[in-house]
Structure formats: C-alpha cells, structure tokens
Amino acid sequence: MKVGIKNQIKKTVSSDLTAKAMGSGRLDVFATPAMVAMMEEAAHTSVEAELEEGQGTVGTSMTVSHLAATPVGMEVTCESELIEVDGRKLVFEIKAMDKAGLIGEAKHERFIIDSEKFLAKTKAKLK
C-alpha cells in the first residue's frame, strides 16, 4: 500500500441524514454523524482494492471539524487521501465540501485487519 491513494464520493443530503433525524441536534441540516460516516466510507473504500483476500480495515480514530451547515437537497462531496502508511496503520486526510465550500475536515486512522480473526474475537465477547 502506498501513500497518495485518493477517493471521492458524493451524496445528496436527504431528510434521514439530518441532525434532527439522527438525534445529534434539532435542525434539518446535514448531521455531523452523517458527515463522519461519509468520511469513513471515502477512506475505507479507497484502499479496498489494495488489500489481500480476507483483509479489511477498521477505523480507530478520527479528529474532525464540522465547519459549516449544509441544507437538505444539496450535494456533499467527500475527498480522502492516504497520507501515511506505517505497517498496518493507515492515516487519511479527508475534506467534505458542498457547492458553497468546505464544510468539514478530518484526520482519520484505520488499521488493516484479518476480517475472520477480527470477527471471531468480537463474537467471543458474547460468551
């Protein structure tokens, strides 16, 4: 895996992606949790083709700023770039924009995992 992998995804803000609908506020504007999920999606999908069979990535940290509100009906574009690879640790810089400009930015860490082992360890918590 090499530094420089980029990705871009787009979504139109719908009523189910608002702060009011997601419980993160009372307004019908793009919710911070929806923006964070979109940022994670841009990051993890950017590197999927580089992973070996049976591998995946999991998010472990994100430092995020939600800088501006976006109304229902407006499109949001999220761009991620892989800026660091340290063994299994991947670090991304991510920006979210609407047609008026920058609405959010983040630094996000993910780790490459063996999906089967990860799920087995997680399910063992139920015992």
Which residue numbers are catalytic?
32, 40, 66
Question: In this structure, what are the phi and psi dihedrals at residue 119, rounded to the nearest 5 degrees?
Answer: -65, -40
Look up residue 82 and give its amino acid: L
- Tell me how far apart the alpha carbons of residues 8 and 75 are, in angstroms, rounded to a whole number: 13
Nearest to 93 by CA among 83, 103, 104, 78: 83
Q: Which two tokens stand for residue 106?
A: 């983040």
- Tell me how far apart the alpha carbons of residues 31 and 23 are, in angstroms, rounded to a whole number: 9
In 13-125, at which residue ranges do the beta strands (DSSP E only) sit?
A: 55-66, 75-86, 89-98, 101-114
Q: Which two tokens stand for residue 109?
A: 């860490």
